[in-house]
Amino acid sequence: MSATELPVCEIENPVMPYLRQERLPHIWCPGCGIGTTVNCFTRALTDSGMDLDRVAIVSGIGCTGRVAGYMNLDSFHTTHGRAIPFATGLRLANPDLAKVVVYSGDGDLSAIGGNHLIHAARRNMDLMVVCVNNFTYGMTGGQVAPTTPIGATQTTMPYGNFENPFNLPFLADACGAVYVARWTVYHVKQLAKAMLEGLKKKGFVFIEAMAPCPTLYSRRNRLGDGVDQLKYYKEKSKVVNGADTKEVGLTFQGDITVGKFVDRDRPTWLEAMNEHYTHHFGDRYTPYGGSHAQD
Amino acid sequence: MHADPKGVLTGIHFIDGDHAACEGALAAGCRFVAGYPITPSTEVVERFAARIPLVGGMFIQLEDELASSIAIQGAAWAGKKVMTVTSGPGLSLMMEHVGYAAFTETPCVFVDVQRGGPSTGLPTLPAQADMMQVKWGSHGDYEPIALCPNSPQECFDLMIKAFNLAETYRVPVFFMMDEVVGHMTERVVIPEASQIEVVERKWTTKKPGEYRPYETDESLVPEMVKAGDGYRIHITGLTHDERGYPAMTAPAQDKLVTRLVNKIRANADKIVDIREDGVAGADVVVVSFGMTSRVAGAAVEAARAAGLKVGHLRLVITWPFPAKRIRELAATVKAFVVPELNMGQMALEVERAAAGKVPVLTLPHAGGTVHEPAAILAKIKEAAQ
């Protein structure tokens, strides 16, 4: 067999039906962890049994911001940092949607979009937020992010970062998220399960997915390639479900606490509004929501 | 089609411009508003928040203007007619999302109750100094539409027109009030719903698979769908092709940006809305808009009483600008006079259209109050000489 006559694979990759195949190949670098999170997301969608015509995905800007563009769902690639408020409008204006997922990076969600993150969590807006945390701004060439651990070198922290990073699960927990989990792209089964739980959960769900950026973060810090980062995740991760989020902050190549940290219930913004207005207006008020609103 | 009676408060009211603007939006079918408090616009959303629970719709006060101006676009793609409301400092924050609306062709209305600027400026006092910001404020090339009401009645009437234009052309539409128009209380007549024409969104009749989000016919305006209907659309602020997919090449950019500006430029004659009073045979034509048009009207009457041949051309819609009409008049008049509550913004457009044929006398005012009619009269007399 010559090099040009590759065997035809009869089995389709199960991820393919979820992707806009005409848009492939994707832009992500070899060893990047974003694609792995997408794989987990497709598994969660399969397992959820949801009508995919009623699942929408919203991204901001950046490498992870490109996820929306590859998913074969109603998908919106919005402005930098504003995926959550766009998704808020989409969610509230069409309660018939089964789920609105926000899929974006750590810089997009916690720096430029940080204000929206905390307020959507406070309101318990019914959104599942997947935050792919690669500790850097990949699309723009590896600048310091609010998640960059102290000591890591970035192009705008050329002598090493001295700024205190966010502990994202603690932030989401403190602001009122009803579901908070962290996994790495080494933990594909657990990450897919968290996404499945997130899809089924009503209210503000925050899932942090630690992912390697071999091209920028790893290279500048001499951490090897994507596989080396997976080895790091494997060796240094400890599963502590229900961990106190105050204690799960990350350090440069230090121990990683993963797990489901928060799973609680409180009314979503829309449920609270409907309940309040029903109480206030009585029969004059028609609860806001579509035909599938109670799904 | 006619307005949904649920949103129409038929009757004779004595309300201010902010409240009338809210009623106009409700009558137009607006069912989703996101906003952030800012003087002198807040009464618009306060009334909407009070009215909407029983009309059937949604108001949410968000954490800032960035959130408000993009949340409405999420709601538009969920199928609602949408609006956000602000004043100068908030409008500055919204500019990136004006560009997003223009590029993704998301129908939405931005209400700007103008106050003195720059920066925090004069929160409680009027200006008309955001006219160029709404034309040029977001980066890149696009063509917005802007309407300038001069009374509470027009805040109602023109708001319906603003929504209809947003739906017809799928562009961000600016509703350019000012503090005086917003807080002035007058008689407002709201007709029966059956008397109010509203434009429905240009929904596609194509099936999923056949539909391409940015495919257009000669109207240059694509058909729309909403999330959840099974079309699996992709919408991006990147330069995109007819499928809505990123296409970051010079030819794709040329094709898309050219269509976006042409859908307004080619329809400018249809969109332009001017009110002319005694323009034929006039030596001097006063060009005004918004609150200033009422002051200018008094000055024009006084000038006529003094024997001068003066016309008044009021811009009800400032963008697109009626360049063609100004060009025609430049061939017959001796001069234009342009009073406005800014340091000379729309006067630049009059000068551009007049193209040096006749003088354009500006009457700038930094804002904080309106012009004295006597000042406009003096400028008319100067122009007539």
pLDDT tens digit string along A165-188?
999 999 999 999 999 999 999 999
DSSP string, A275-294: HHHHHHHGGGPPPP--TTTT
Using CA atoms, how far residue A283 sits from A95, A276, B47, B55, in Å, is: 21, 13, 21, 13
Q: What is the DSSP letter of A29?
A: P
Cα A140 to Cα B64: distance, rounded to the nearest angstrom: 26
Q: Which residues pair with B362 in a beta bridge?
A: B338
**Given an 8 Å threshold on Cβ–Cβ distance, is B227 in contact with A90?**
yes
Q: Which of B350, B348, B316 is nearest to B333 (CA)?
A: B350
Of B54, B67, B226, the CB nearest to A284: B54
**Residue B151 confidence (pLDDT):** 98
Question: How near does any CA of chain B get to the CA of A203, in Å?
Answer: 17
Parse chain B into domains and list their residue ranges: 5-195, 275-384
Would you say residue A3 lies in a domain? no
Cα B100 to Cα A55: distance, rounded to the nearest angstrom: 22
Non-local (6+) Cβ contacts of B339 within 8 A are B286, B288, B292, B295, B296, B299, B363, B365, B371, B375, B376, B379
Q: How many C-beta neighbours within 10 Å does residue B210 have?
A: 10
Q: How many C-beta neighbours within 10 Å does residue B348 have?
A: 15
**Residue A44 confidence (pLDDT):** 98
Q: A68 with A103: CB under 8 angstroms?
A: yes
pLDDT, tens digit (0-9, with 9 covering 90-100), for A102-143: 999 999 999 999 999 999 999 999 999 999 999 999 999 999
3-state secondary structure of A123: helix
DSSP string, A138-170: TTTTSB--TTPPTT--BTTBTT---SPPP-HHH
Q: At what angle do helices B152-169 and B17-28 cross, to 10 degrees?
A: 40
Non-local (6+) Cβ contacts of B223 within 8 A are B202, B203, B204, B205, B206, B211, B215
Task: Locate the DSSP E strands across chain A.
Answer: 55-59, 74-77, 99-105, 128-133, 179-184, 205-210, 237-239, 256-263
Whether B5-195 shares its CATH topology with B275-384 is answered yes
**A116 touching chain B per CB within 8 A:** yes
**Given an 8 Å threshold on Cβ–Cβ distance, is A72 in contact with B232?**
yes
Per cent of chain A over pLDDT 90 is: 93
Mean pLDDT value across chain A: 95
Chain centroid offset of residue B121 CA: 22
Query: Side chain identity at B96, as an amino acid letter?
Result: E
Mutation target vs A (from B30, B63, B245; most A CBs, 10 A cutoff): B63
pLDDT at A264 over 90: yes
Output the domain CATH number for residue A130. Answer: 3.40.50.970
**Given an 8 Å threshold on Cβ–Cβ distance, is B232 in contact with A81?**
no
Per cent of chain A over pLDDT 70 is: 97
**B60 touching chain A per CB within 8 A:** yes
pLDDT tens by residue, chain B, 385 residues? 999 999 999 999 999 999 999 999 999 999 999 999 999 999 999 999 999 999 999 999 999 999 999 999 999 999 999 999 999 999 999 999 999 999 999 999 999 999 999 999 999 999 999 999 999 999 999 999 999 999 999 999 999 999 999 999 999 999 999 999 999 999 999 999 999 999 999 999 999 999 999 999 999 999 999 999 999 999 999 999 999 999 999 999 999 999 999 999 999 999 999 999 999 999 999 999 999 999 999 999 999 999 999 999 999 999 999 999 999 999 999 999 999 999 999 999 999 999 999 999 999 999 999 999 999 999 999 999 9
**B72 touching chain A per CB within 8 A:** yes
Would you say residue A12 lies in a domain? no
pLDDT, tens digit (0-9, with 9 covering 90-100), for A1-57: 455 677 777 888 889 999 999 999 999 999 999 999 999 999 999 999 999 999 999
Could you tell me the fold of the domain covering B5-195?
Rossmann fold (3.40.50)
Instruction: For B49-70, give the secondary structure using H, E and C.
Output: HHHHHHHCCEEEECCCHHHHHH
**Residue A58 confidence (pLDDT):** 98
Q: Which of B130, B152, B140 is nearest to B86 (CA)?
A: B130
Mutation target vs B (from A88, A270, A283; most B CBs, 10 A cutoff): A88
**Given an 8 Å threshold on Cβ–Cβ distance, is B246 in contact with A72?**
no
Of A69, A94, A277, the CB nearest to B78: A94
Q: B91 with B127: CB under 8 angstroms?
A: no
Residue B148 phi, psi dihedral angles, 5° rounding? -130, 90
**B58 touching chain A per CB within 8 A:** yes
3-state secondary structure of B235: strand
Classify strands A237-239 and B310-315 as parallel, antiparallel or unpaired: unpaired
Of A77, A85, A93, the CB nearest to B70: A85
**B343 touching chain A per CB within 8 A:** no
Residue B131 phi, psi dihedral angles, 5° rounding? -65, -40
Q: What is the DSSP letter of B45?
A: H
**Given an 8 Å threshold on Cβ–Cβ distance, is A75 in contact with B58?**
no
Q: Find the radius of gyration of the CA atoms of chain A.
A: 20
Q: What is the dihedral of CA B331, B332, B337, B342, to 10 degrees?
A: -40
**B50 touching chain A per CB within 8 A:** no
Non-local (6+) Cβ contacts of B114 within 8 A are B87, B88, B126, B127, B128, B129, B130, B176, B177, B178, B179, B341
Six token digits for residue B346: 């729309």
pLDDT at A295 over 70: no
Q: Which domain holds residue A128?
A: 20-284
Q: B25 with B34: CB under 8 angstroms?
A: no
**Residue B2 confidence (pLDDT):** 96
Cα A89 to Cα B275: distance, rounded to the nearest angstrom: 37
**Residue A249 confidence (pLDDT):** 98
**Residue A293 confidence (pLDDT):** 45
Polymer length in residues for chain B = 385
Which residues of chain A lie closer than 8 angstroms to B229, CB-CB? 53
**Residue A5 confidence (pLDDT):** 73
Question: How near does any CA of chain B get to the CA of A82, in Å?
Answer: 7
**Given an 8 Å threshold on Cβ–Cβ distance, is B237 in contact with A77?**
yes
Which residues of chain A lie closer than 8 angstroms to B34, CB-CB? 85, 89
Classify strands A55-59 and B11-16 as parallel, antiparallel or unpaired: unpaired
Of A92, A97, A281, the CB nearest to B53: A281
Would you say residue A14 lies in a domain? no
Rounded mean pLDDT, A207-217: 97
Question: How near does any CA of chain B get to the CA of A108, in Å?
Answer: 14
Segments in A94-134 forming alpha helices (H): 106-107, 114-123
Mutation target vs A (from B62, B104, B224, B229; most A CBs, 10 A cutoff): B62
Which residues of chain B lie closer than 8 angstroms to A56, CB-CB? 227-228
Total domains in chain A come to 1
pLDDT, tens digit (0-9, with 9 covering 90-100), for A80-99: 999 999 999 999 999 999 99
CATH class of B275-384: alpha beta
The H or E element containing residue B318 is strand B317-319
**Residue A11 confidence (pLDDT):** 85
Cα B96 to Cα A71: distance, rounded to the nearest angstrom: 25
Which residues of chain B lie closer than 8 angstroms to A288, CB-CB? 56-58
Which residues of chain B lie closer than 8 angstroms to A54, CB-CB? 228
Say if residue B176 is exposed, middle or buried (CB neighbours under 10 Å; 0-12, 13-18, 19+): buried
Which residues of chain A lie closer than 8 angstroms to B106, CB-CB? none
Classify strands B81-86 and A179-184 as parallel, antiparallel or unpaired: unpaired
Question: How near does any CA of chain A get to the CA of B173, in Å?
Answer: 19
**Given an 8 Å threshold on Cβ–Cβ distance, is A74 in contact with B228?**
yes
**A272 touching chain B per CB within 8 A:** no
Q: How many C-beta neighbours within 10 Å does residue B164 have?
A: 19
